[in-house]
Amino acid sequence: MSENKNKFEGNSRYFTICIYSIITVLVIAIIVRAVFFWESTSETLNRLLSSLSPFFIGILIAFLINPLVSWMRKTVFKKWLHIRNDALNRMLAILFSYLLVISVLIVGLIYLIPEIIDSLNQLLNQMPEWGNSIMDFVNNLSERYPDIDFKYLQKTITNADSSLQDIISKLISGITTTILVTGVSVIKFVFNFIVAIIVSCYLIIDKKMQARGTKRVIYAVFKKERADKIWNVGKNSIRIFSNFFDGKMIDSLIMGILCFICMMIINFFGVKGFAECSLLISIIVCVTNMIPYFGPFLGGIPSVLLLCIYSPKSGLVFAILIIILQQLDGNLIGPKILGDSTGLRPLWIIFAITVGGWAAGVIGMLLGVPCVAVITGLTEDYVNKRLDEKGIDMPILKNEKVRKSKPKIRKKSKSK
Protein backbone atom coordinates (compact mmCIF):
# COMPACT_ATOMS: atom_id res chain seq x y z
CA MET A 1 0.00 0.00 0.00
CA SER A 2 2.83 2.39 0.92
CA GLU A 3 4.53 1.82 -2.43
CA ASN A 4 1.36 2.76 -4.30
CA LYS A 5 0.98 5.95 -2.25
CA ASN A 6 4.54 7.10 -2.99
CA LYS A 7 4.28 6.34 -6.71
CA PHE A 8 4.35 9.43 -8.95
CA GLU A 9 1.26 9.89 -11.10
CA GLY A 10 1.26 12.22 -14.10
CA ASN A 11 -1.38 14.91 -14.52
CA SER A 12 -2.10 16.04 -18.05
CA ARG A 13 -3.62 19.32 -16.87
CA TYR A 14 -0.48 20.44 -14.99
CA PHE A 15 1.69 19.19 -17.82
CA THR A 16 -0.24 21.40 -20.28
CA ILE A 17 0.08 24.40 -17.96
CA CYS A 18 3.81 23.77 -17.67
CA ILE A 19 4.24 23.60 -21.45
CA TYR A 20 2.29 26.85 -21.97
CA SER A 21 4.35 28.54 -19.24
CA ILE A 22 7.64 27.51 -20.87
CA ILE A 23 6.43 28.72 -24.29
CA THR A 24 5.29 32.05 -22.78
CA VAL A 25 8.66 32.60 -21.06
CA LEU A 26 10.51 31.79 -24.30
CA VAL A 27 8.37 34.22 -26.32
CA ILE A 28 8.90 36.99 -23.73
CA ALA A 29 12.65 36.32 -23.72
CA ILE A 30 12.79 36.53 -27.52
CA ILE A 31 10.83 39.81 -27.52
CA VAL A 32 13.08 41.34 -24.80
CA ARG A 33 16.18 40.18 -26.69
CA ALA A 34 14.90 41.70 -29.93
CA VAL A 35 13.93 45.04 -28.34
CA PHE A 36 16.96 45.74 -26.16
CA PHE A 37 19.59 44.24 -28.48
CA TRP A 38 18.06 45.15 -31.82
CA GLU A 39 21.31 45.68 -33.75
CA SER A 40 22.70 42.21 -33.02
CA THR A 41 19.24 40.68 -33.50
CA SER A 42 18.86 42.40 -36.85
CA GLU A 43 22.33 41.22 -37.92
CA THR A 44 21.50 37.66 -36.90
CA LEU A 45 18.19 37.76 -38.78
CA ASN A 46 19.89 39.15 -41.88
CA ARG A 47 22.47 36.35 -41.83
CA LEU A 48 19.74 33.76 -41.33
CA LEU A 49 17.62 35.16 -44.17
CA SER A 50 20.69 35.38 -46.42
CA SER A 51 21.54 31.73 -45.80
CA LEU A 52 17.93 30.68 -46.38
CA SER A 53 17.46 32.90 -49.45
CA PRO A 54 17.89 30.01 -51.94
CA PHE A 55 14.98 28.21 -50.29
CA PHE A 56 12.77 31.32 -50.33
CA ILE A 57 13.66 31.96 -53.97
CA GLY A 58 12.94 28.30 -54.74
CA ILE A 59 9.49 28.54 -53.13
CA LEU A 60 8.77 31.68 -55.15
CA ILE A 61 9.96 30.04 -58.39
CA ALA A 62 7.82 26.97 -57.72
CA PHE A 63 4.79 29.13 -56.97
CA LEU A 64 5.19 31.16 -60.17
CA ILE A 65 6.15 28.33 -62.54
CA ASN A 66 3.55 25.82 -61.30
CA PRO A 67 0.75 27.18 -63.59
CA LEU A 68 3.01 26.75 -66.65
CA VAL A 69 3.89 23.19 -65.57
CA SER A 70 0.21 22.32 -65.08
CA TRP A 71 -0.73 23.78 -68.47
CA MET A 72 2.05 21.92 -70.30
CA ARG A 73 1.23 18.66 -68.50
CA LYS A 74 -2.51 18.80 -69.21
CA THR A 75 -2.56 20.50 -72.61
CA VAL A 76 0.75 20.02 -74.42
CA PHE A 77 1.85 16.54 -73.41
CA LYS A 78 -1.45 14.90 -72.47
CA LYS A 79 -3.93 16.49 -74.90
CA TRP A 80 -1.75 17.35 -77.89
CA LEU A 81 1.02 14.71 -77.73
CA HIS A 82 -1.19 12.02 -76.12
CA ILE A 83 1.33 10.95 -73.46
CA ARG A 84 -0.72 8.89 -70.99
CA ASN A 85 2.04 7.99 -68.54
CA ASP A 86 1.54 10.42 -65.62
CA ALA A 87 5.12 10.19 -64.32
CA LEU A 88 6.65 10.79 -67.77
CA ASN A 89 4.10 13.51 -68.48
CA ARG A 90 4.95 15.35 -65.26
CA MET A 91 8.72 15.10 -65.72
CA LEU A 92 8.56 16.35 -69.33
CA ALA A 93 6.31 19.24 -68.31
CA ILE A 94 8.70 20.29 -65.52
CA LEU A 95 11.77 19.95 -67.75
CA PHE A 96 10.41 21.95 -70.68
CA SER A 97 8.84 24.60 -68.41
CA TYR A 98 12.15 25.30 -66.70
CA LEU A 99 14.07 25.28 -69.99
CA LEU A 100 11.58 27.74 -71.49
CA VAL A 101 11.66 30.14 -68.53
CA ILE A 102 15.46 30.05 -68.14
CA SER A 103 15.98 30.59 -71.88
CA VAL A 104 13.64 33.59 -71.90
CA LEU A 105 15.38 35.10 -68.86
CA ILE A 106 18.89 34.65 -70.32
CA VAL A 107 17.95 36.09 -73.72
CA GLY A 108 16.07 38.94 -72.05
CA LEU A 109 18.99 39.89 -69.80
CA ILE A 110 21.52 39.68 -72.64
CA TYR A 111 19.37 41.96 -74.79
CA LEU A 112 17.90 44.31 -72.17
CA ILE A 113 20.88 45.32 -70.02
CA PRO A 114 22.94 46.85 -72.88
CA GLU A 115 19.81 48.53 -74.28
CA ILE A 116 18.93 50.03 -70.90
CA ILE A 117 22.44 51.42 -70.44
CA ASP A 118 22.48 52.77 -74.02
CA SER A 119 19.06 54.42 -73.59
CA LEU A 120 20.15 56.08 -70.34
CA ASN A 121 23.34 57.34 -71.97
CA GLN A 122 21.32 58.84 -74.82
CA LEU A 123 19.00 60.45 -72.28
CA LEU A 124 22.00 61.89 -70.44
CA ASN A 125 23.44 63.32 -73.67
CA GLN A 126 20.14 64.91 -74.67
CA MET A 127 19.48 66.62 -71.33
CA PRO A 128 21.70 69.70 -71.89
CA GLU A 129 19.91 70.35 -75.19
CA TRP A 130 16.51 70.07 -73.48
CA GLY A 131 17.68 72.38 -70.70
CA ASN A 132 18.85 74.98 -73.23
CA SER A 133 15.54 74.78 -75.10
CA ILE A 134 13.54 75.30 -71.91
CA MET A 135 15.79 78.18 -70.83
CA ASP A 136 15.37 79.87 -74.26
CA PHE A 137 11.59 79.55 -73.86
CA VAL A 138 11.71 81.12 -70.38
CA ASN A 139 14.00 83.92 -71.63
CA ASN A 140 11.54 84.72 -74.42
CA LEU A 141 8.75 84.91 -71.85
CA SER A 142 10.82 87.26 -69.66
CA GLU A 143 11.43 89.54 -72.67
CA ARG A 144 7.72 89.60 -73.53
CA TYR A 145 6.62 90.15 -69.94
CA PRO A 146 9.34 92.21 -68.23
CA ASP A 147 7.10 92.93 -65.23
CA ILE A 148 7.15 89.25 -64.19
CA ASP A 149 10.20 87.94 -62.33
CA PHE A 150 11.35 84.65 -63.92
CA LYS A 151 14.62 84.35 -61.97
CA TYR A 152 13.27 81.75 -59.55
CA LEU A 153 11.95 79.64 -62.45
CA GLN A 154 15.28 79.90 -64.32
CA LYS A 155 17.20 78.88 -61.21
CA THR A 156 14.86 75.93 -60.62
CA ILE A 157 15.30 74.68 -64.21
CA THR A 158 19.09 74.94 -63.97
CA ASN A 159 19.17 73.04 -60.66
CA ALA A 160 16.75 70.39 -61.95
CA ASP A 161 18.86 69.85 -65.06
CA SER A 162 22.05 69.27 -63.05
CA SER A 163 20.22 67.11 -60.48
CA LEU A 164 18.73 64.87 -63.15
CA GLN A 165 22.12 64.47 -64.82
CA ASP A 166 23.65 63.43 -61.50
CA ILE A 167 20.84 60.93 -60.84
CA ILE A 168 21.13 59.32 -64.28
CA SER A 169 24.93 59.20 -64.04
CA LYS A 170 24.72 57.46 -60.66
CA LEU A 171 22.10 55.07 -62.04
CA ILE A 172 24.32 54.11 -64.99
CA SER A 173 27.34 53.62 -62.76
CA GLY A 174 25.19 51.64 -60.33
CA ILE A 175 24.02 49.27 -63.07
CA THR A 176 27.59 48.81 -64.28
CA THR A 177 28.87 48.21 -60.73
CA THR A 178 26.10 45.70 -60.07
CA ILE A 179 27.02 43.78 -63.21
CA LEU A 180 30.70 43.74 -62.20
CA VAL A 181 29.93 42.67 -58.62
CA THR A 182 27.66 39.94 -59.93
CA GLY A 183 30.47 38.81 -62.21
CA VAL A 184 32.95 38.73 -59.31
CA SER A 185 30.57 36.75 -57.05
CA VAL A 186 29.32 34.60 -59.90
CA ILE A 187 30.16 31.36 -58.06
CA LYS A 188 27.92 32.26 -55.12
CA PHE A 189 25.18 33.45 -57.44
CA VAL A 190 25.30 30.26 -59.52
CA PHE A 191 25.28 28.11 -56.38
CA ASN A 192 22.24 29.89 -54.91
CA PHE A 193 20.47 29.78 -58.25
CA ILE A 194 21.09 26.04 -58.66
CA VAL A 195 19.88 25.36 -55.10
CA ALA A 196 16.76 27.47 -55.72
CA ILE A 197 16.02 25.58 -58.94
CA ILE A 198 16.46 22.21 -57.20
CA VAL A 199 14.21 23.29 -54.30
CA SER A 200 11.50 24.52 -56.68
CA CYS A 201 11.69 21.27 -58.70
CA TYR A 202 11.21 19.13 -55.61
CA LEU A 203 8.38 21.36 -54.42
CA ILE A 204 6.53 20.89 -57.71
CA ILE A 205 7.28 17.15 -57.98
CA ASP A 206 6.28 16.33 -54.38
CA LYS A 207 3.54 18.92 -53.89
CA LYS A 208 0.83 16.30 -53.26
CA MET A 209 3.03 14.38 -50.80
CA GLN A 210 4.00 17.62 -49.03
CA ALA A 211 0.37 18.70 -48.76
CA ARG A 212 -0.51 15.28 -47.38
CA GLY A 213 2.34 15.43 -44.85
CA THR A 214 1.36 18.93 -43.71
CA LYS A 215 -2.24 17.80 -43.28
CA ARG A 216 -1.14 14.81 -41.20
CA VAL A 217 0.90 17.05 -38.89
CA ILE A 218 -1.96 19.52 -38.43
CA TYR A 219 -4.48 16.80 -37.59
CA ALA A 220 -1.97 15.09 -35.27
CA VAL A 221 -1.24 18.27 -33.26
CA PHE A 222 -4.72 19.86 -33.07
CA LYS A 223 -8.19 18.59 -32.37
CA LYS A 224 -10.25 17.68 -35.41
CA GLU A 225 -12.47 20.77 -35.31
CA ARG A 226 -9.49 23.12 -34.93
CA ALA A 227 -7.51 21.19 -37.54
CA ASP A 228 -10.39 21.48 -40.03
CA LYS A 229 -10.38 25.27 -39.58
CA ILE A 230 -6.60 25.55 -39.96
CA TRP A 231 -6.57 23.34 -43.06
CA ASN A 232 -9.47 25.25 -44.70
CA VAL A 233 -7.81 28.59 -43.93
CA GLY A 234 -4.56 27.38 -45.48
CA LYS A 235 -6.30 26.06 -48.60
CA ASN A 236 -8.29 29.28 -49.06
CA SER A 237 -5.16 31.41 -48.59
CA ILE A 238 -3.22 29.41 -51.19
CA ARG A 239 -6.21 29.52 -53.55
CA ILE A 240 -6.47 33.32 -53.30
CA PHE A 241 -2.72 33.74 -53.85
CA SER A 242 -2.69 31.29 -56.75
CA ASN A 243 -5.75 32.79 -58.48
CA PHE A 244 -4.39 36.30 -58.13
CA PHE A 245 -0.88 35.54 -59.42
CA ASP A 246 -2.04 33.24 -62.23
CA GLY A 247 -4.59 35.76 -63.45
CA LYS A 248 -2.21 38.69 -63.09
CA MET A 249 0.56 36.90 -64.99
CA ILE A 250 -1.78 36.15 -67.92
CA ASP A 251 -3.20 39.67 -67.81
CA SER A 252 0.28 41.24 -67.74
CA LEU A 253 1.46 39.06 -70.63
CA ILE A 254 -1.54 40.15 -72.73
CA MET A 255 -0.87 43.80 -71.87
CA GLY A 256 2.80 43.48 -72.87
CA ILE A 257 1.87 41.89 -76.21
CA LEU A 258 -0.79 44.55 -76.88
CA CYS A 259 1.70 47.31 -76.04
CA PHE A 260 4.26 45.83 -78.45
CA ILE A 261 1.70 45.48 -81.28
CA CYS A 262 0.36 49.02 -80.78
CA MET A 263 3.87 50.50 -80.74
CA MET A 264 4.79 48.71 -83.98
CA ILE A 265 1.55 49.95 -85.61
CA ILE A 266 2.22 53.55 -84.47
CA ASN A 267 5.76 53.24 -85.83
CA PHE A 268 4.30 53.06 -89.36
CA PHE A 269 3.02 56.62 -88.90
CA GLY A 270 6.57 57.94 -88.48
CA VAL A 271 6.69 58.40 -84.71
CA LYS A 272 10.33 58.33 -83.64
CA GLY A 273 11.66 55.80 -81.14
CA PHE A 274 8.73 53.37 -81.21
CA ALA A 275 10.58 50.79 -83.31
CA GLU A 276 13.82 51.00 -81.29
CA CYS A 277 12.19 50.85 -77.81
CA SER A 278 9.10 48.73 -78.50
CA LEU A 279 10.45 45.48 -76.99
CA LEU A 280 12.08 47.13 -73.96
CA ILE A 281 9.02 49.23 -73.12
CA SER A 282 6.64 46.30 -73.65
CA ILE A 283 8.62 44.23 -71.16
CA ILE A 284 8.56 47.11 -68.66
CA VAL A 285 4.79 47.44 -69.06
CA CYS A 286 4.35 43.66 -68.75
CA VAL A 287 6.34 43.46 -65.49
CA THR A 288 4.91 46.54 -63.78
CA ASN A 289 1.34 45.60 -64.72
CA MET A 290 1.55 42.90 -62.02
CA ILE A 291 0.92 45.72 -59.52
CA PRO A 292 -2.83 46.57 -59.55
CA TYR A 293 -3.99 50.10 -60.40
CA PHE A 294 -0.59 51.82 -60.14
CA GLY A 295 1.42 49.31 -62.19
CA PRO A 296 0.71 50.75 -65.66
CA PHE A 297 1.67 54.23 -64.48
CA LEU A 298 4.84 52.96 -62.76
CA GLY A 299 5.86 51.40 -66.07
CA GLY A 300 4.60 54.30 -68.15
CA ILE A 301 6.64 57.07 -66.52
CA PRO A 302 10.13 55.64 -67.29
CA SER A 303 8.88 54.57 -70.71
CA VAL A 304 7.78 58.13 -71.50
CA LEU A 305 11.22 59.40 -70.40
CA LEU A 306 12.94 56.87 -72.64
CA LEU A 307 10.86 57.93 -75.65
CA CYS A 308 11.52 61.59 -74.92
CA ILE A 309 15.14 60.85 -75.89
CA TYR A 310 13.92 60.78 -79.49
CA SER A 311 11.27 63.52 -79.28
CA PRO A 312 8.75 64.94 -76.78
CA LYS A 313 6.04 64.03 -79.30
CA SER A 314 6.92 60.34 -78.95
CA GLY A 315 6.60 60.56 -75.17
CA LEU A 316 3.22 62.28 -75.46
CA VAL A 317 1.90 59.68 -77.92
CA PHE A 318 3.01 56.84 -75.65
CA ALA A 319 1.43 58.54 -72.60
CA ILE A 320 -1.90 58.58 -74.46
CA LEU A 321 -1.36 54.95 -75.50
CA ILE A 322 -0.66 53.73 -71.94
CA ILE A 323 -3.78 55.52 -70.63
CA ILE A 324 -5.90 53.79 -73.28
CA LEU A 325 -4.33 50.40 -72.50
CA GLN A 326 -4.86 50.93 -68.77
CA GLN A 327 -8.54 51.69 -69.29
CA LEU A 328 -8.87 48.66 -71.56
CA ASP A 329 -7.19 46.46 -68.96
CA GLY A 330 -9.15 47.85 -66.01
CA ASN A 331 -12.58 47.65 -67.66
CA LEU A 332 -12.37 44.66 -70.02
CA ILE A 333 -9.28 42.43 -69.95
CA GLY A 334 -8.67 42.39 -66.19
CA PRO A 335 -12.26 41.58 -65.09
CA LYS A 336 -12.54 38.83 -67.75
CA ILE A 337 -9.34 37.10 -66.63
CA LEU A 338 -9.19 37.82 -62.91
CA GLY A 339 -12.91 37.85 -62.20
CA ASP A 340 -13.39 38.05 -58.45
CA SER A 341 -10.16 36.30 -57.50
CA THR A 342 -9.48 38.62 -54.56
CA GLY A 343 -13.00 39.74 -53.67
CA LEU A 344 -11.72 43.19 -52.66
CA ARG A 345 -13.29 46.54 -53.32
CA PRO A 346 -11.08 49.18 -55.03
CA LEU A 347 -10.61 51.11 -51.76
CA TRP A 348 -9.14 48.03 -50.03
CA ILE A 349 -6.90 47.31 -53.02
CA ILE A 350 -5.47 50.84 -52.90
CA PHE A 351 -5.01 50.47 -49.14
CA ALA A 352 -3.18 47.14 -49.61
CA ILE A 353 -0.88 48.61 -52.28
CA THR A 354 -0.10 51.69 -50.15
CA VAL A 355 0.70 49.76 -46.96
CA GLY A 356 2.57 47.04 -48.85
CA GLY A 357 4.67 49.59 -50.72
CA TRP A 358 5.52 51.35 -47.45
CA ALA A 359 6.50 48.09 -45.75
CA ALA A 360 8.41 46.26 -48.52
CA GLY A 361 8.62 48.43 -51.62
CA VAL A 362 7.61 46.97 -54.98
CA ILE A 363 7.39 43.41 -53.62
CA GLY A 364 5.08 44.66 -50.87
CA MET A 365 2.86 46.37 -53.44
CA LEU A 366 2.60 43.06 -55.28
CA LEU A 367 1.96 40.89 -52.21
CA GLY A 368 -0.21 43.40 -50.35
CA VAL A 369 -3.38 42.71 -52.35
CA PRO A 370 -3.56 38.92 -51.85
CA CYS A 371 -2.53 39.29 -48.18
CA VAL A 372 -5.33 41.76 -47.47
CA ALA A 373 -7.69 39.51 -49.49
CA VAL A 374 -6.85 36.58 -47.20
CA ILE A 375 -7.40 38.70 -44.07
CA THR A 376 -10.73 40.07 -45.30
CA GLY A 377 -11.83 36.59 -46.37
CA LEU A 378 -11.12 35.17 -42.91
CA THR A 379 -12.84 38.13 -41.27
CA GLU A 380 -15.88 37.68 -43.51
CA ASP A 381 -16.10 33.97 -42.63
CA TYR A 382 -15.97 34.82 -38.92
CA VAL A 383 -18.64 37.53 -39.27
CA ASN A 384 -20.91 35.20 -41.26
CA LYS A 385 -20.53 32.48 -38.63
CA ARG A 386 -21.37 34.85 -35.79
CA LEU A 387 -24.39 36.25 -37.63
CA ASP A 388 -25.57 32.72 -38.38
CA GLU A 389 -25.24 31.78 -34.71
CA LYS A 390 -27.37 34.80 -33.75
CA GLY A 391 -29.95 34.01 -36.45
CA ILE A 392 -29.40 37.27 -38.34
CA ASP A 393 -29.85 37.23 -42.12
CA MET A 394 -27.66 40.09 -43.40
CA PRO A 395 -26.17 39.29 -46.85
CA ILE A 396 -23.41 41.39 -48.41
CA LEU A 397 -24.64 43.80 -51.07
CA LYS A 398 -22.54 42.99 -54.13
CA ASN A 399 -23.76 45.91 -56.24
CA GLU A 400 -25.20 49.36 -55.62
CA LYS A 401 -28.51 48.59 -57.32
CA VAL A 402 -29.60 46.23 -54.58
CA ARG A 403 -32.31 47.81 -52.46
CA LYS A 404 -31.27 48.61 -48.92
CA SER A 405 -33.25 46.73 -46.34
CA LYS A 406 -33.16 46.30 -42.60
CA PRO A 407 -31.52 43.21 -41.17
CA LYS A 408 -33.95 40.34 -40.91
CA ILE A 409 -34.05 38.18 -37.80
CA ARG A 410 -34.77 34.57 -38.59
CA LYS A 411 -37.28 33.07 -36.22
CA LYS A 412 -35.98 29.92 -34.65
CA SER A 413 -38.42 27.05 -34.77
CA LYS A 414 -39.52 25.90 -31.36
CA SER A 415 -38.62 22.31 -30.71
CA LYS A 416 -41.38 20.21 -29.36
The pLDDT value given to residue 318: 92
How would you classify the pairing of strands 392-393 and 408-409? antiparallel
Residue 103 has pLDDT above 60, yes or no: yes
The pLDDT value given to residue 99: 92
| Beta strand segments in 189-235, E | none
Burial class (CB in 10 A: 0-12, 13-18, 19+), 314: buried
3-state class of 396 per DSSP?
Answer: coil
Question: Per residue in 194-247, pLDDT tens?
Answer: 888 888 888 888 888 888 998 998 998 888 988 888 898 888 888 877 777 778
Q: Are 53 and 188 in contact (CB under 8 A)?
A: no
The pLDDT value given to residue 232: 86
The pLDDT value given to residue 410: 45
Q: How far is Cα 166 from Cα 160, in angstroms, rounded to an integer? A: 10
The residues spanned by each domain of the chain are 225-391
The model's pTM: 0.69
Question: Per residue in 340-370, pLDDT tens?
Answer: 556 667 777 778 888 887 877 777 777 788 8
Q: How far is Cα 258 from Cα 289, in angstroms, rounded to an integer? A: 12
The pLDDT value given to residue 161: 60
Backbone angle region of 339, left / alpha / beta, with phi > 0 → left and psi within -120 to 50 → alpha: left
